[in-house]
Amino acid sequence: MDNAKKRIGVAILALLVLAGCHHPAASTSAAAPAASDVTEFDSAVRDGDTSIIGRLLKAKPEMINAKDETGKTPLTIATEKGDQEMADYLRHHGAHE
């Protein structure tokens, strides 16, 4: 009986994975960055400071697409500022809007 329960459990888990369901405890995504980290990162984007951005990305790669309190990503900030060089730098590191 135990083997039958295990097979059913594995089958259910496989179906959930195929269906795109994720249990929060099984999630492997990183936690949301702290608001202060997002502020620091966004300030570096506004200032065009790739050295700070590089340091932050090395420590916390999830920062590349972190949204600020208004819902803007770093790439959105660079694009709205008209900083094509920064936008390209961010895209090169995996940024998207």
DSSP for 42-53? HHHHHHT-HHHH
At residue 25, the pLDDT reads: 38
The CATH number of the structural domain formed by 35-92 is 1.25.40
At residue 33, the pLDDT reads: 86
Task: Work out the angle between the directed axes of helices 84-92 and 50-59 (0-180°, nearest 10).
Answer: 20
At residue 22, the pLDDT reads: 43
Query: What is residue 87's three-state secondary structure?
Result: helix
Please give the angle made by the CA atoms of 84, 90 and 91, to the nearest 5 degrees: 85
Q: 34-93, pLDDT tens digit by residue?
A: 999 999 999 999 999 999 999 999 999 999 999 999 999 999 999 999 999 999 999 999
